[in-house]
Chains A and B, each alone.
Chain A
């Protein structure tokens, strides 16, 4: 038998110093690759105009200023469609899309995970298969279907498809499989609770991390949605699209566009920071069985 070192009655796993060093070096290199462009965006956002167009360019900002953010707000105020409208569009579609998705997908996930009705297996298999292709594949035909339903150029064109996101349903179903005990549900049913009641009152409070994850995923997707082929009217377009228009303004707006990028990325990053532990917990059951 191998000789084991122990500390506080726990086995100390063997870790070579060389391995530790190698891992640290690799992690540092990859980490720099990931973080430097992010740092550069922030640097750009705080550079005054003369530093943005300095030769040779400097990576770091020397005299940080808020002027780019001020420029951005001036640009926003002079736009043809008021910026508050773009913000409203994004918030409205994000909130409606997210809550509809949360409710509809979790109800379906509950039935698929916890009620053994004929067909539940192949319905889930079909939904799972759709994780295997990208939604751009169906964009053009979705357009045709939506125009048949008169949904083109309305908020519905963004909101309703969001209710059907697959990843959210998949994660919720997997999480319910492992984290909601059948015994508890069974006793609720024996006490005469209906399935709908069992789902809402018993199961849902047990899967808080999963619905938080669902909210965040759906919100992120909708928040980052740029121009959509389903929307023509300027006053229905998203905040991200409007920011993109400022960014597209070229050299003169380099500062404002960096400021806009920083503002846009802060939202999903902050949301993730707050909810990280819940998302990781949900991902614990994300694995695919076969």
Chain B
């Protein structure tokens, strides 16, 4: 069948120019374009257009009320040279991302790997335990109760009891504690799609490969992991990395939920918060678009770099 198809194409290309051939193929497959049309239309309007529009608006002083003027790079210059809070936000975002991204990635993989050889029933239960926090919406607010600022908070009470502290610590209002705690909570909610993808990927590796490995002299589970499991998992590792990176740059809800907005001394202020502040509260759309473009660039760049690095694994 496929041989016949290529033959047909080869003939068609001889008497047609490449462009004419593409046109012919497009006409032949017109139903396909009809089928993708609804999705592609919505995708274009709500994903592509906003990105392109942000780039344009970021060069203006648009504020939803007055006619916008073109200000060229003024927004970007203000961001990086005049807006101290933005620089704090950039620093915090990177601290969050550099810790939460890799740690959640590693945790997802290790847990998936740990439970891989358990019986299906137990594996399902453990999967649920680790996955549940990421799908339970606002349940992370319980950390606010556990670490509540008065002696009724379980953590404060325990520390008081044990004599480590004399007065309760206002964990989520104290610039020293806000960042580490938010990182812990973010990690707690971070075993999501990547985790499930790893579980499925590990389950999908044929046992015969491990047996063959054993015959060839693989001695223990660590060698198995290195020589058989990881090379087989490359597609999932790639997908998981993208999920982890995008998630770690994009979380801000946890901070707002636990520390309020803005967080004390901007201690956990991230680019997302800065964006929300200027975009949905002050309506300085031009300025907030510049913030969005910076964040967009950071996300795409880190994903691309990590993808490049991962594609070298096992090559």
Contact = CB atoms under 8 A, between A and B. Distances in A.
Nearest to A103: B38
Interface string A123-161: 100110111111111111111110000000000000011
Given A27-B114, A276-B127, A140 B136 contact: no
A265 B137 contact: yes
A26 B111 CA distance: 9
B220 interface: yes
A288 B45 contact: no
B139 A265 contact: yes
Interface string B45-71: 111111101100100000010000000
Given A265-B136, A287-B239, A137 B292 contact: yes
A229 to B, nearest CB: 5
- Residue of A10, A57, A223, A272 with highest tally of chain B CB at under 10 A: A57
Contacts of A107: 35-36, 38-39
Contacts of B128: 269, 272-273, 276
B137 A140 contact: no
Interface string A1-29: 11010000011011110010001001100
- Residue of B47, B49, B130, B188 with highest tally of chain A CB at under 10 A: B47
B45 A145 contact: yes
Nearest to A4: B214
Contacts of B38: 104, 107-108, 163
Interface residues of A, number: 104
Contacts of A1: 215, 217
Given A30-B111, A224-B137, A276-B128, A127 B154 contact: no
A137 B47 CA distance: 10
Contacts of A37: 133, 139-140, 142-143, 146, 188
Contact of B246 (A55, A132, A282): A132
Contacts of B111: 27, 30
A4 B42 CA distance: 57
Contacts of A169: 39
6 contacts: A38-B129, A108-B40, A123-B36, A127-B43, A142-B50, A286-B201
Interface of B: 1, 22, 25-26, 29, 31-33, 35-36, 38-40, 42-43, 45-51, 53-54, 57, 64, 107, 110-111, 114-115, 124, 126-133, 135-143, 145-146, 151-154, 157-158, 160-161, 188, 191, 193, 196-197, 199-201, 203-204, 210-211, 214-217, 219-222, 224, 233-236, 238-239, 242-243, 245-247, 249-250, 252, 272, 275-276, 279-280, 285, 288-289, 292, 295-296, 299-300, 303-304, 311
